[in-house]
Chains A and B, each alone.
Chain A
């Protein structure tokens, strides 16, 4: 069986992270598994976990009143689930529901953000890995807003 550290160190998010930080991060990590349909977190809940998807698919959903939930994004293999654990007020903005059996590593978000506060080099490392993802997500959201495929009328 692979160790958590060996799994984490090949995950795209952590590739080439210094080994002392890798060890530190592994210290607050645990293996988890979500069944299809299981909620990983709910909108408004405190964001205290940082979920690294190994395999599977998670839907980020909003549920408008009197309507069925709408999926606005899915994340899957090799991707990460959200950044609310690092950004005040540390609350989730969306529901996250496993669409299929999903295996992930969960990092203790609270522990991680404390470590980032203590060691700004680590903080910078994580932020510079998160920021491109935030940027891409925002770009994707903007393209989604354009409603590309609708007939213009």
Chain B
């Protein structure tokens, strides 16, 4: 392992500048609409200094921190998939000449992204989408280009959110691989610095261009203890033992109906999920009818149209659509791509308007109550006469 370095806040600012100078479009966390979202940034001034997020089922709230942490939040509604697998994208254009037509392929996207503040769960989510778009018989060249050009600066989590369960999914909180650089933000006494690990030659080249010094053992210890704190703080737990088999055996479990009674079929969970990859296409023409375009857009298995088959829909009930989503994420994903489709980021719990909680529902469907949260919730249930 290469030795760890230390950079300070100004060093981080330099890092952004170096990447911008190298032609990268730098995307990182910033405040917008009372949430921390990923947008293009120019300097550390754009980062959400001194803010944190409070999360629980159906709840997301920004709060002021007592310090000036730049990465003192967990994750917001966005994930990096909006850059790598954009919400909408033109696939090609076509023009009509009399009864004949020509197809004009879309030119490749020249943008190179540098992502600042990638969480470990998000790196896992990107690796999962890689399997979908790059590792099958067919490759998505547009995804491949954006993916290969991208520069990843991970930030290890120093705290866990109320809906986090990456420890259960083996996806965090420490980023183990898949980054060019990985930072741990340390605020200790009056010091504010970042412990930097390099994960690639590209990362090494970049770090050389900014002022840094070798990390002392004490500083690395502080960083490690921050990550250990996050590990101990997980807001949720999910027991994944035999989860595929258990879900497949319980496709008709009454709990699906119970969930369906609450689920609004709003598709929020699929939109915020960093691994959900489903898309639809729209064919459009202009008013003359001579120019056609084909667009790819994010789609959700919660929409009725998703399963439309000449004259009817296969999944008409909310129950069947929720079941499709959850069994795909946790069970059939394993058959399809060799891993779970869930990274434990907790977004689907936080952004569910009716607070449906994956980690509470799974044990009920799988016929066990071995999730800690589920047990706690039951114990907390009021029993006046007990």
Contact = CB atoms under 8 A, between A and B. Distances in A.
Interface residues of A, number: 3
A151 interface: yes
A151 to B, nearest CB: 5
Contacts of A152: 310-312
Contacts of B311: 151-153
B115 to A, nearest CB: 46
A152 B310 CA distance: 7
A151 B310 CA distance: 7
Q: Main secondary structure on chain B at its contact with chain A? A: loop
Interface of B: 310-312
A34 to B, nearest CB: 42
Interface of A: 151-153
A152 B313 CA distance: 10
B313 to A, nearest CB: 10
A33 to B, nearest CB: 47
Nearest to B310: A151
A151 B308 CA distance: 13
Contacts of A151: 310-311
B233 to A, nearest CB: 51
A113 to B, nearest CB: 46
7 contacts: A151-B310, A151-B311, A152-B310, A152-B311, A152-B312, A153-B311, A153-B312
A76 to B, nearest CB: 34
A15 B312 CA distance: 46
Nearest to A153: B311
Contacts of B310: 151-152
A74 B160 CA distance: 71
A120 B312 CA distance: 52
A30 B8 CA distance: 107
A148 to B, nearest CB: 13
Contacts of A153: 311-312
A1 B311 CA distance: 58
Closest 3 CB pairs of A and B: A152-B311, A153-B311, A152-B312
B304 to A, nearest CB: 14
A140 to B, nearest CB: 24
A152 B312 CA distance: 6
Nearest to B312: A152
B337 to A, nearest CB: 32
